[in-house]
Structure 1
Amino acid sequence: MISGASVAGPALAYWLHRYGFHVTVVERAADLRPGGQAIDVRGPAIEVARRMGVLDELRDHATDLRGMSVLDADGNETHRSTEATASGGFLHRDDVEILRDDLARILVRAGGPGIEYVFGDSIAELHDGPDEIRVRFTGGQERAFDIVVGADGVHSNTRALAFGPQERYLWPLAGHLGVWTAPNFLGLDRWQLVHRTGDQVAWGALVMSVRKNTELRVYVGLNGLDHDDPALRDRESQKKLIAERFAHARWEMPRLLSTMWDAPDFHFDAGAQIHMDTWSNGRVVLVGDAGYCGSPASGQGSSMALVGAYVLAGQLKAAGGDHRAAFAGYERELRPWVTANQALADRMIDQAEQQDAQADREEDADDSLPAAVDDSYYAVVDDFTVRDY
């Protein structure tokens, strides 16, 4: 059983079903969740998508951006690039930037009707035994499985049940990020705008056209918030906080903020990573953000999820279903690459802060973005070989 139907869960379900395992995916939401960031499929994840037969479809749904502009507080363009974007990196590469919800739908369809999806339910209890693991769901049903996989994100319920409280594993990083969908009233044509407000707390926004220019994805960034503030866990309170902090922002920010209130896919969370000594406990194993979230700052969360799903399924196939051997092989093969990719987040944050400090000191400072996406970044991204199982 797999808990979570975003990226890692459906990808793992695809490979396990292909290898002859019976797979059930349970998802707390009533259907596939809308919204989320534009995410990147890079390096070895491109090869995984190719082997799944979905790469062409991913490209058909790509953001397909032509470039980006950086704007000052009044909306004046201070920098323009047709070589890279802040969200996707270098445009000359074979990478695919795609909306998270589009990627999830493609992965679920690729798995086919042989995979059981259960929506509107979640795990309430896990009882691990010598021959099976029994699961009681919040809906009251009880079922037995050979293994349970937590693919339910950075705030994984599966991880909490099998490994203990989130506080043991979550490492907060700088900043909070809000994301939602808006109409393309700016008329952007495969283009991205980075708006810098000049405020140290409400530092700015990123706006990009998506879905053949029919929509915008709006991102806003806030610094200096208390990660433990319980008010930040309530959606309406999050929206009010964003509106208050950006109340004095100029350019098109008032219109963009007005679209936030009724956005059906509003999401807000802190930058964070998950660090664990082991990704498995008995018959429970974690994949993707649940086990090793890199945070949006790394730009590698979805690629790690796709590659992680491929490796975990491959190890289960190679071990003939022996979960102990498979879980050990999964960590042995994947952990060095995951660790290197997680380290990219700190580097990205540090270099962005240095760039902001330079911009504050010097009027003519280079305002280009992304700050730390260069050849050495991609050397880490590409440093994994997708082998056959």
Structure 2
Amino acid sequence: MQTVLISGGGIAGPVLAHWLRRHGFAPTVVELAPGPRPGGQAVDIRGVALDVMARTGLLEQVRAVRTRMRGMSLLDADGQEIERSTEATFSSGRLDGEDVEVLRDDLVRLIHEHTRADVEYLFGDSVTALDDHDGGVRVDFAQGASRTFDLVVGADGLHSNVRRLAFGPEEHFTRHLGSHLSVFGADNFLALEDWQVWMRDGDAGFGIMPVRDNTEIRVAFGFESGPLPHDPDSLRRLVADRIAALRVHGARLAEAALEASDFHCDALAQVHLDNWSRGRVTLLGDAGWCPSPLSGQGTSLALVGAYVLADSLARSSGDHGAAYAAYERRMRPFVALNQALATENPGGPASEASVAHAKNAFALDG
């Protein structure tokens, strides 16, 4: 039984682990966080990714916890409503469609619960070194003892540790799209009821949606800026200062950003590599091809990629090189099409027609 170390316990990694286990592999997932990560924005499961969820056995559970918006309002910089829709929202697309919007932490929780009995999880640890040799990959960990695995998969996000160790510095592969995104939660001080609000003021703006039966809100604040500070406290203060300058809810949102336990901020960027694999190591999801949140397709690409990678390995009769090549050959056109959604309409979402084409441009059994 081949052993596979997967770095990253979010969405792509555990789904890959599920499918590897079903194909007869022995997967281990290592995750830096002490458990499934809380917080995060709402994510979309669209098109062919819904089929992956169905085959994984989680589609009905995901649908049960989906967000249920009635619509959205667009505000000007002074807070006046300039447009509204009861047919679609920027975060999820058409409200009458088959696609599913779900909070990221809900999806992570469901996948972890679905896999924890059959998959080895190493929480609170990370990979510090990789030694790829003929007999496997020797992996050093920050906390645990070194181990050797037949294969290693980096599913550890935009700032992938595995990618850095196996391929080189991050700056060789990331393309900054010119802005940054901060996401955090707060009490529903706006008293929103299944209704989103969106506002743009110059080079900054926000989207706010109520969650948890309208008891909380999740705030997505986008802004342009020079390089972000590395110190977490300085980064949080920078975001709070930028939000405070807004004329609409600025002071209250700044306070929420300073208090939030789930505060997150990062550059909006894409990842582009000539090859996703090197030796016995390969990349999955944002680590290999981050399309950025602007595409709305990061989660769907991760789900499809996890299924295809596991399928390719299962078909390869132990030849990981052939498996990785098949995985990349199948996924690259789909990834490129979906990455293009992020840059189709700078400052706004891609067209409905483009999204519809991109989300379905893949055959799982191809």
Q: Which runs of 5+ in 2 are unaligned?
A: none
Equivalent residue for 2:147, pick from 126, 143, 146: 143
Displacement of 1:304? 0.4
Write the distance in 2 (CA, Å) between the matches of 1:118 and 1:297. Answer: 31
Q: TM-score, normalised by structure 2?
A: 0.96
Distance, in Å, in 2 between the alignment partners of 1:298 and 1:336 is 15
Residue 346 of structure 1: how far off its partner (Å): 0.9
| Residues 294 and 349 in structure 2, CA contact (< 8 A), matched pair in contact too | no
Query: In structure 2, do the counterparts of structure 1 residues 185 and 206 end up closer, same or farther at CA, with 3 Å as the change threshold?
Result: same
Write out aligned runs for 1:112-127 (5 A): 112-127=116-131
CA distance in 1, matches of 2:259, 2:241: 17
* Map of 1:39 onto structure 2: 43
Structure 2 letter corresponding to 1:19: H
Distance 1:136 1:183 in 2: 41
CA distance in 2, matches of 1:240, 1:130: 48
Q: 1: CA distance between counterparts of 2:243 and 2:213? A: 29
Contact 2:13 2:155 in 1 (8 A): yes
Equivalenced residue count is 362
Match of 2:216?
Answer: 215
What residue in structure 1 maps to residue 320 of structure 2?
A: 323
Describe the SS at the equivalent of 1:271. strand
Shift of 1:377: 2.5
Output one character per residue of 1:37-81: Cα deviation in whole Å (capped at 9) or x when no partner.
111100110000011110111111111212100112222211110
Displacement after TM superposition at 1:140 (Å): 4.8
- C-alpha separation in 1, matches of 2:111 and 2:144: 28
The alpha-carbon distance between structure 1 residues 143 and 216, as it changes in their structure 2 partners (threshold 3 A), is same
Match of 1:374 among 345, 348, 352: 352
- The aligned amino acid for 2:52 is V
Structure-2 residue corresponding to 1:100: 104
TM-score normalised per structure 1: 0.90
The residue that corresponds to 1:110 in the other structure is 114
Preserved CA contact (<8 Å) 2:43 2:104: yes
Paired residue type of 1:40: D
Instruction: Measure how far apart 1:214 and its partner are.
Output: 2.1
Which residue of structure 2 lines up, in the alignment, with residue 284 of structure 1? 281
> Is the aligned partner of 1:78 residue 2:78?
no
Superposed CA RMSD: 1.3
Question: What CA deviation, in whole Å up to 9, does each residue of 1:159-179 have, x standing for no partner?
Answer: 000001101101110211110
Other-structure match for 2:262: 265
Q: Give the Cα–Cα distance (whole angstroms) in 1 for the partners of residues 245 and 169 of structure 2.
A: 39
CA deviation vs aligned residue, 1:281-300 (integer Å, no higher than 9, x gap): 00001000000000011111
Instruction: Choose 152-161 or 321-330, whichever is displaced more.
Output: 321-330
Q: CA deviation at 1:247?
A: 2.8
Name the SS for the 1:272 alignment partner: strand
Among the aligned pairs, what percent are the same residue? Answer: 50
Match of 2:336 among 321, 330, 339: 339
- Quote the residue 1:9 is aligned against: 13
**Runs of 4+ in structure 1 displaced over 6 angstroms?**
none
Return 26-35 or 147-156, whichever deviates more.
Answer: 26-35
SS of residue matched to 1:259: helix
Counterpart check, 1:156 vs 2:156 = no
Which blocks of at least 5 consecutive residues in structure 1 are unaligned? 353-369
Q: Which string of whole-angstrom CA distances, capped at 9 and with x for unpartnered residues, describes residues 310-332 of structure 1?
A: 00000111113321111011001
Q: Please name the residue that 1:134 is paired with.
A: 138
